[in-house]
Amino acid sequence: MQLTREFCFDAAHCLENYDPGHPNRRIHGHSFRVRVTLTGMPDDTTGQIVDLSEFGTILEHLREQLDHHMLNEIDGLETPTLENICLWLWEHLSPDLPDLSAVEVFRDSLGQSCLYQGSRHVN
């Protein structure tokens, strides 16, 4: 069984690995949508995988760290690609959400997303 919540944030970044003159090298912004999925079975007492209010509080804490910030300035997001944003979110969510099974980051306006379903032991 899977339980999913989403949140959105707007942020700026630049990708310095692009050639000089490429638009992605300049500071620019995106609206991001994040989908976080837990996999498990409801416990016998609550009938839930996790309390949805607690789940929302954990996600809101991360959203506040990202929303309207320069992603390159956030520790661990110095190269804020979709892939690295997924990994950063996983690393920050997994200690509080042991049933974490997927993190997906979307840039809907560009039709892009990245899905990470890996282990909690990220290099």
Show the CA angle centred on residue 15, arms to residues 10 and 16, nearest 5°.
150
Q: Is the pLDDT of residue 35 over 50?
A: yes
DSSP element (H, E) containing 84: helix 82-93
Q: How far, in Å, CA of 43 to CA of 34, rounded? A: 26
Question: Average pLDDT over the chain, rounded to whole?
Answer: 94
Segment 16-45 shows an average pLDDT of: 93
pLDDT at residue number 120: 47
Q: Please list the helix, strand and coil fractions of the chain in percent, rounded to the nearest 5, in that order.
A: 30, 30, 40
Contact 66, 11 (CB under 8 A): yes
Question: Which residues are known binding-site members?
Answer: 13, 28, 30
CA distance 57 to 117: 22
Render pLDDT for 40-51 as a digit per residue (tens, 0 to 9). 999 999 999 999
Domain 2-116 has CATH 3.30.479.10: yes
* Res 122 pLDDT > 90: no
- Which residues is 28 bridged to in the sheet? 13
User: Which residue did the predictor score with more confidence, 23 or 86?
Assistant: 86
How many other CB atoms are found less than 10 A from the CB of residue 54?
A: 12
pLDDT of 62 above 90 = yes
Query: Which parts are annotated binding residues for Zn(2+)?
Result: 13, 28, 30
Q: Where are the domains of the chain?
A: 2-116
Tell me the per-residue pLDDT of 82-119, one tens digit each, with 9 for 90 and over. 999 999 999 999 999 999 999 999 999 999 999 999 87
